[in-house]
Structure 1
Amino acid sequence: MTDRVRRAVLVGNSDGIGLAFTRRLLADGWRVAGLSRRDNVINVPTYTHHTVDVTAPDYPEVLAKAIDELGGVDLCVFAAGVGEPIDLADLPAQTHTFEVNLMGAVRTVATVVPRMIDAGEGHFLGISSLADRMVSSGSPGYAGSKAGLSSYLLGLSRPLRDRGVSVTTVRFGFVDTKMAKGPVRPLMISVDRAVEILVRCVRTRPVLVSRPRRMALLTSALATFTRPR
C-alpha cells in the first residue's frame, strides 16, 4: 500500500451531499479540489476551490487545471445536480437540467477518465437518483437526465474496468437537502447517512448502489405503473 496522499476532485460541492463529502474526505486525509458554481466555506491547506459552472465553455479547462494542481486524480465525484418542476412556459429550464445533470457529467468524464486510463488506475463516482426509473410528468427533465446519467455510467463501467478504472453509480432516493422538494418525501435519509454510503463506495468500488433499499424496490414497482399506455 502506497503512503502517498490520495487526491480527489469533487464537482458540485457548494452545499448538500457534495460539501459534506468533501469535508469527510479532507478529514480522512485526502487532498481535494472542489468545483462548483458558488464558493463554499472550506478553508484548509489541503483544499482548493474553483468557481465554475459545469455548463460553462471553459469548464473542461478549469477542471484540467484543478487536476494538474493536485498532481493527478485518484477519485472524481460528480455531485452536481439541479431539478425544477416542469413549467410549459419555460421549457428551456428543462434543457438546462439535462445540461447540468447529464452533459455536465459527460464533460467531466471526458476530461478526467483519460487521465485515469493513462495512470492505469482511478475511480469515478457519479451521484444519480432513484428517479432514473420513473416517467415523471412533474419533473421530466430531472428524471430523464438521471436516467441518462445512470445508463451512461453503467455502460462505462465494464470497458474501463479492464483499464484499471472503476465507475460507481450511486442512486439515492430523498436526501435531506434543498433538492428534496415536494410535500411527501418517503424514507428520506440524512446527509450524514448519504456520506457514509459514499465512503463505503470509495472503499469497495461497487458498480451500482441504490439507497435506501426499500425506496429502490418501491420505485422499481412504481415504474411499471407510471409508464404511459
Structure 2
Amino acid sequence: MPSQGKSLLVIGGTSDIAKATALTFAKEGWNVTISGRELPATRAEAANLELRIPGSTITAVVLDILDTASFMPLLDSLPVLPDAVLLAVGLLGEQTLAERRTDHAELIMRSNFEGPCLLLGLIASRFEDRGSGTIIGISSVAGDRGRASNYVYGAAKAGLTAFLSGLRNRLAAKGVHVLTVKPGFVRTRMTAGMKLPATLTAEPQELGEAIYSGVQKRRNVIYVRPTWWLVMTIIRSIPESLFKKLRL
C-alpha cells in the first residue's frame, strides 16, 4: 500500500529497536513521531534520525508510560491521529531484585504491561471509531512460558501478548490491524554485556525491517528470527514435571 504521507507514532522512541524501526518507516516515506520521557533528549534523537534520512519528518513528544493520567491529553494534542502506533517501551529489570523488592517488581510490571495496555486501549478505541489503523506491539518470547530466570518480566510480557491478541480479535472486523512482535534476543543497549547466541540474536535494523514487512503483509504474530518459533514451541511442550527441574 502507498506509504507516502502516512504517520507512525513510536511509544518509547529512544530505544535502539524504536530508532531502527523509525528509520525503516521514514525511509519508506512515513512521517514519524517519537516519544520519550524528557523532551530535550527526545528532540535530539528526532533530529539525529532526520539527518540520517534526508527529507524525512520526525518529531518528538513527551510521554512517560507510568504516567497514565497523561495518556488522554497526549493523544488529544497530536495534530492528527496516526495511521500506525508502535509500542516499543519496556523494562527488563532484574529478576533477583524483583523477587525481594515489590517496588522493583511493580516497576517491571507497570512498564511492560499496565502502562502499555492502558495506552493501547485508548488508541484502539480511536482507531476503531475511525475505521482504520495499525497497532504494533513489541512483546517477547519471554512471555511464551514462565522461566525462573526472568518470570516477572515474562509474566508482564505474557499479559501484553494476551492483551494484543484480544485487541486483534476485537478489532478484526473494524478495519484495525494488530501485529504482535516477539523479537527474541536483539543486540541493544539493554542486552549489552550478555553472551548471546549468534543464530538467535537479531540486529535492531533487522527487527525494524521485519516489523515494516509484517505491517505491509498484515501479519498477526511474528518471531523476528523464525528459529525462535521452533525454540519456544519446544519449550512450551516440555511437561511441567520436567520443566521445573531445568535451569532456564
If the length of structure 1 is used for normalisation, what is the TM-score? 0.89
Aligned counterpart, 1:24: 24
1:198 aligned residue (208, 211, 227): 211
Matched, 1:128 2:108: no
Aligned counterpart, 1:33: 33
Distance change >3 Å, CA 181–CA 130, structure 1 → 2:
farther
Q: CA contact under 8 A between 2:68 and 2:115: conserved in structure 1? A: no
Classify the secondary structure of the residue corresponding to 1:42: helix
Q: CA contact under 8 A between 1:34 and 1:50: conserved in structure 2? A: yes
Classify the secondary structure of the residue corresponding to 1:50: strand
Q: CA contact under 8 A between 2:11 and 2:86: conserved in structure 1? A: yes
Distance change >3 Å, CA 3–CA 181, structure 1 → 2:
closer
Q: CA contact under 8 A between 1:7 and 1:75: conserved in structure 2? A: yes
Matched, 1:72 2:94: no
Unpaired stretches in structure 1, ≥5 consecutive residues: none
Q: CA contact under 8 A between 2:168 and 2:178: conserved in structure 1? A: yes
**Structure 2 CA distance, aligned partners of 1:130 and 1:155?**
18
Aligned counterpart, 1:13: 13
Letter in 2 for 1:75: A
Aligned counterpart, 1:210: 223
Across the two proteins, how many residue pairs are aligned to each other?
227
RMSD of Structure 2 on Structure 1 (CA): 2.2
Aligned counterpart, 2:64: 53
Residue 109 (structure 1) shift = 1.5
Report Cα offsets for 1:17-53 as digits up to 9, x if no partner. 1111112222222122211224332224722211221
Which sits farther off after the overlay, 95-104 or 182-191? Answer: 182-191
Aligned counterpart, 2:161: 150
**Structure 1 CA distance, aligned partners of 2:193 and 2:4?**
45
Unpaired stretches in structure 2, ≥5 consecutive residues: 51-55
**Structure 2 CA distance, aligned partners of 1:211 and 1:5?**
27
Letter in 2 for 1:7: S
If the length of structure 2 is used for normalisation, what is the TM-score? 0.83
